[in-house]
Amino acid sequence: MNDQLPIISPNLDAPDEGAVQLFRESILAKLVYQVGARRERANAHDWFVATALAARDRVVDRWRRSNDDTWAEDRKAVCYLSMEFLIGRLMSDALGNLGLIETARQALEGLGVDFDTVVGQEADAALGNGGLGRLAACFMESMASVDVPAYGYGIRYEHGLFRQVIAGGIQHEVPEDWLALGNPWEFERSGLVYEVGFGGHVRPEVLPDGSTRMVWHAGEVVNALAYDTPVVGWRGHRINTLRLWSARATDPLHLNDFNRGDHIGAQAARMRAEAISRVLYPGDESEAGQELRLRQEYFFASASLQDIIRRHLSRHADLTDLARQVAVQLNDTHPAIGVAELMRLLMDVHGMEWDAAWTITQATFSYTNHTLMPEALETWAVPMMERLLPRHMQIIYLINAAHLDRARAGGADDMLLSNVSLIDERHGRRVRMGHLAFVGSHRINGVSALHSQLMRDTVFAELNGVCGDRITNKTNGITFRRWLHRANPELTKLLAEAIGPSVLDDPNRLERLVPLADDASFRNLFAGQRRSAKERLATLVSSRIGLKIDPDALFDVQIKRIHEYKRQLLNIIQTVALYNAMRARPTESWVPRVKIFAGKAAPSYHQAKLIIRLANDVAATINDDPVLHGLLKVAFIPNYNVSLAETIIPAADLSEQISTAGLEASGTGNMKLALNGALTIGTLDGANVEIDERVGRDNIFIFGLTAEEVAQRKRAGYDAHAAAEASPELRGALDAIASGVFSPGEPDRYRGLVEGLLNDDRYLVTADFDAYHSRQRDAEALWAQPDSWWRAAVLNTAHVGWFSSDRTIREYAAEIWDVATR
Ligand code: 26V
């Protein structure tokens, strides 16, 4: 495909002068005619917009070609439904995949404008909370790269994830405003608008042919307006579409009210409608949503399915073939109401019979589960569903009745029936969205081998038994274009020179690095690259929080959402234990270390916010202590986001992946850090298990209870007091924290936290402490032997090619979607 358009050359190549000149002219034209700025007075943001628009022009023809080819070849398309797309900046993604980074750099240089400054102007698109949203962004890029026709469907939140400000060690949330200066990448599709209803009532109505149909008379209608962003695949092979819906009132102003002088009331309905796409819910595993969240979920699921049906009917006489033409992937349960919505559209709007509609629905949908944490499993109160989505509630009851009949016929007893029912009757009646997604899908997948097995063995065991084994595993991946090529161009260049540029196209070729791990001069180059990335990070840390850190120290990094199960607390307690030891024996030869933390806590998650405060308090005390001679520093870098990750990851020596085994579904930061040559210290949890299998036990620091042992301990009843008594290091660290060593102005600040840990250590922090502490000693010992450390680092990069999201997407394509890949 795209045979008339040139295949993009590797972006490490030097561009020719003609191409640079052309691009420069096109930037200047955009600056003058679209930004409306004079060259002499243009600011960095003006240059950013002009450059983005020039780049976008290079995308548009290929984009149309991709769509035309999909039509012409009648190819099946994937529709990826996700509440979250955590994209970050798009400039280097687009330019990088088009092979235009050097062209753009030189084009701007010739105008006296610095490329990196221009790229730095772009606001991160933070339309997601963490892992789930970032995975969706990686998948979009990989689908374009392996030539899968795909639409990402989501919500165009006006405000993405809050900006985190740390003041006095405490997290404050400030609204994020990524659209304030416009978004040059998107196209508003004023012709693509769908009506989404809420509330009202349902009535059977007799049609002219004598048949009856259920008709939903919605009490409120909101318009969904499409905004499209092109998603450029590697080397520009294919350009897919990210289609995000913006909520608009059907009646923007009640003129009568306005004319009567009620200027606010006249806009009330508009505010209510448009609130739907106003802001991303900032929760993650820790929080359940409220009514507005259900409105968001239905809003985007409905608009997306209407769009899918409209597109299908523009080419086909009816909907019988729908599942042959599209695969709809539910990214967690957030779009699961789509199961009932597709049934409604097929039956009530398009006149299909139940059985035919159900066959199509199940063949169309598949569902990915991203967490087994009980507090994150979505359920919605039946009364609210009945009020907001009365027809959907009827359909859910009908789906449930058929599902329970099948289970009963298969021999299910009452207990089993109540466990597999779509309605949870135990604490008020609630719809179990995971069950709805499961029953409505032909395939259900987990995101790492361990997680998928735990789905089969625990949360979904009974449902999977009743439905006939539908669970399959698709271990997560990351796009190497962003997380290696863009984030770490120096390392990428070194790799391409050492093992050939084909590694840019085929990550499995990273294995060719294996012999180079034993080559001292290559190891030096590898370490030299890390050193310069650490210098860049040190500059950033100094400018953001005024802390000086030594680029020769071991950079020990834990970057992710703050959550008790991820156990930042274990890391902090261990940091305090190290601090105590250094103070007790200041003359010992300590390995210089910088503990780096970054991550956001959900605004209402008090315990997570307290952990952030503790990290900052510990940092303040340790960083100021002259006895340590700067050998230990602690940095909490505020406002973790995709762009910050791109700076931290290439600079990390040690990657902290220390969740309680069985609780981290996969992790993807673990893959990014290992790819860039960091050594993992981690538990046998999520994808760590598969990283361990690939890099080998000699090149990773594994510790702690296994998922099975965790389950046993919990069953037996675990006593944290006994663990603390048995471990002097742990006891000392906890005493210091509890007694106010790090909060001298308020000595009791962390007393409750420590007591809570000792009385109910749900995440088994104290159980894993000694094992963790001792693996940290092993890491220091290895660091003290640079030849061995860097050998292990090179082998990490060499062995993790499998974690490319291209591999993950190929597996989904072959085993779930039934679409071809390149
Ligand atoms: C739950 C909620 C609850 C209501 C408010 C908004 C909201 C947003 C997200 C979630 C569920 C988050 C689940 C999640 O992010 N899971 C992560 O998925 C990653 C990709 O598969 C995986 O690597 C991580 O291990 C997993 O924690």
* Residue 689 · residue 696 · CB < 8 Å: no
Contact status, residue 590 vs residue 633, Cβ threshold 8 Å: no
Give per-residue burial for 549-563: e unless 16+ CB within 10 Å, then b. bebebbbbbbbbbbb
Task: Give, in order, the Cα–Cα distances in Å from 640 to each of 163, 553, 612, 651, 660.
Answer: 9, 22, 12, 15, 22
pLDDT at residue 13, rounded to an integer? 60
Q: Over 70: is that where the pLDDT of 4 sits?
A: no
Cα(480) to centroid of ligand 1, in Å? 22
**Among 84, 85, 129, 132, residue to substitute to test ligand 1 (most atoms within 8 Å of Cβ):** 132
CA of 360 to the centre of ligand 1 (A): 28
Q: Which helix H or strand E contains 232, and what residues bound it?
A: strand 220-232
Distance 596 CA to ligand 1 centre (A): 23
Q: What is the pLDDT of residues 224-233, one digit of tens each?
A: 999 999 999 9
The model's pLDDT over 494-546, given as tens digits with 9 standing for 90+, comes to: 999 999 999 999 999 999 999 999 999 999 999 999 999 999 999 999 999 99
Check whether 466 has a pLDDT greater than 70: yes
d(CA 736, CA 185): 51
What are the beta bridge partners of residue 198?
220
How far, in Å, CA of 625 to CA of 79, rounded? Answer: 55
- Tokens read off for 651: 């600079």
Atom of ligand 1 nearest to the CA of 665: 25
Going from the Cα of 334 to the center of ligand 1, the distance in angstroms, rounded, reads 10
Provide the pLDDT confidence category of residue 427 given band limits of 50, 70 and 90.
Answer: confident
User: What average pLDDT does the segment 139-149 reach?
Assistant: 98
Is the distance from CB of 794 to CB of 491 less than 8 angstroms? no
Q: At 482, is the secondary structure helix, strand, or coil? A: helix
Q: What is the dihedral of CA 251, 350, 438, 139, to 10 degrees?
A: -70
The region that residue 411 occupies, defined by phi over 0 for left and psi between -120 and 50 for alpha, beta otherwise, is left
Spatial distance between the Cα atoms of 604 and 212, rounded to a whole number of angstroms: 48
Round to whole Å and give the CA distance between 254 and 650: 55
Q: Which helix (H) or strand (E) holds 739?
A: helix 728-739
Between helices 751-759 and 606-624, what is the axis angle to 10°?
Answer: 120
> To test the ligand 1 pocket, which listed residue (330, 370, 664) has its Cβ within 8 A of the most ligand atoms?
370
Query: Which three-class secondary structure state does DSSP give residue 727?
Result: coil
Question: Ligand 1 mean position to 546 CA, how many Å?
Answer: 33
- Give the pLDDT mean for 284-300: 89
Q: Residue type at 469?
A: D
What lies within 8 Å, CB to CB, of 554 at 6+ separation is 591, 592, 593, 594, 653, 654, 779, 780, 783
pLDDT, one tens digit per residue, over 672-691 is 999 999 999 999 999 999 99
pTM above 0.85, yes or no: yes
Where does the pLDDT of residue 250 fall: very low under 50, low under 70, confident under 90, or very high at 90 and above? Answer: very high
pLDDT at 287: 65
Q: At what angle do helices 337-344 and 354-364 cross, to 10 degrees?
A: 140
Report CA(115)–ligand 1 centroid distance (Å). Answer: 35
Ligand 1, residues at Cβ distance < 6 Å: 129-132, 135, 281, 283-285, 287-289, 332, 370-371, 376, 447, 476, 664-668, 686
- pLDDT tier at 637 (50, 70, 90 boundaries)? very high
* pLDDT tops 90 at residue 12: no
pLDDT of residue 740 exceeding 90: yes
Q: What are phi and psi of 199, to 5 degrees?
A: 70, -155
Q: Quick one: what percent of the chain has pLDDT higher than 90?
A: 96
Mean pLDDT of the residues in the chain: 96
Backbone φ, ψ for residue 781 (5° rounding): -60, -40
Maximal CA-CA distance, the chain: 93
For residue 83, give the ligand 1 atom closest to its CA: 8
Residue nearest to atom 5 of ligand 1 (CA): 283
Q: Which among 372, 466, 365, 452 is positioned nearest to 419, based on CA atoms?
A: 466
Residue 716, number of CB atoms within 10 A of its CB? 8
Mean pLDDT along residues 163-179: 98
Q: Which atom of ligand 1 is nearest to the CA of 476?
A: 21
How do residues 261-286 score in pLDDT, each as one tens digit?
999 999 999 999 999 999 999 988 87
Does residue 8 have a pLDDT over 70? no
pLDDT tens digits, residue range 557-615?
999 999 999 999 999 999 999 999 999 999 999 999 999 999 999 999 999 999 999 99
Burial of 771 (0-12, 13-18, 19+ CB in 10 A): middle
* Band (10; pLDDT cuts 50, 70, 90): very low
Residue 649, both tokens: 């990851």
How many Cα neighbours within 13 Å face the side chain of 173? 16
CB contact at 8 A, 604 and 285: no
Q: Which residues contact 654 (CB under 8 A, 6 or more apart)?
A: 554, 555, 556, 557, 678, 679, 680, 681, 779
The CA 285 to ligand 1 mean position distance, Å, reads 6
User: Among all residues, which ones are annotated catalytic?
Assistant: 370, 560-561, 566, 668, 672
Q: What is the pLDDT of residues 84-133, one digit of tens each?
A: 999 999 999 999 999 999 999 999 999 999 999 999 999 999 999 999 99
For ligand 1, atom 19, name the residue with the nearest CA: 131
Mutate to test the pocket of ligand 1, among 86, 129, 368, 455 (most ligand atoms within 8 A of CB): 129
pLDDT in tens, 390-415: 999 999 999 999 999 999 999 999 99
Reference 575, options 617, 541, 543; nearest CA is: 617
Ligand 1, atom 2, residue with closest C-alpha: 284
Report the distance separating Cα 365 and Cα 426, nearest Å. 28
Which atom of ligand 1 approaches the CA of 130 most closely?
15
**In the chain, what is the straight-line distance between the N-terminal and C-terminal CA atoms, in Å?**
11
DSSP sequence for 396-443: HHHHHHHHHHHHHHTT--HHHHHHHSSEE-SSS-EEEHHHHHHHT-SE
pLDDT for 1 equals: 35
Handedness of CA 60, 63, 64, 65 (dihedral sign): positive
Using the Cα atoms of residue 9, residue 15, residue 18 and residue 19 in order, give the sign of their dihedral. Answer: positive
Q: Is the pLDDT of residue 340 over 50?
A: yes
Report d(CA 76, CA 148) in Å as an integer.
9
Please state, in angstroms and rounded to a whole number, the distance separating the CA atoms of residues 327 and 570.
Answer: 42
Question: What percent of the chain shows pLDDT beyond 70?
Answer: 98
% helix, strand, coil for the chain, step of 5: 55, 15, 30
Q: For the residues of 338-400, what is the DSSP string, one character each?
A: HHHHHHHIIIIIT---HHHHHHHHHHHEEEE-----GGGS-EEEHHHHHHH-HHHHHHHHHHH
Q: Which domains does the chain have, with CATH numbers?
A: 1-72+99-122 (no CATH), 75-90+125-476+809-817 (3.40.50.2000), 541-787 (3.40.50.2000)
Helix (H, G, I), strand (E, B) or coil at 320: coil
Cα-based distances in Å from 287 to 134, 299, 373, 645:
19, 20, 11, 24
Question: What does DSSP assign to residue 236?
Answer: G
Overall average pLDDT of the 50-66 stretch: 97
**Three-state DSSP class for residue 589:** coil
Residue having the nearest C-alpha atom to atom 8 of ligand 1: 284
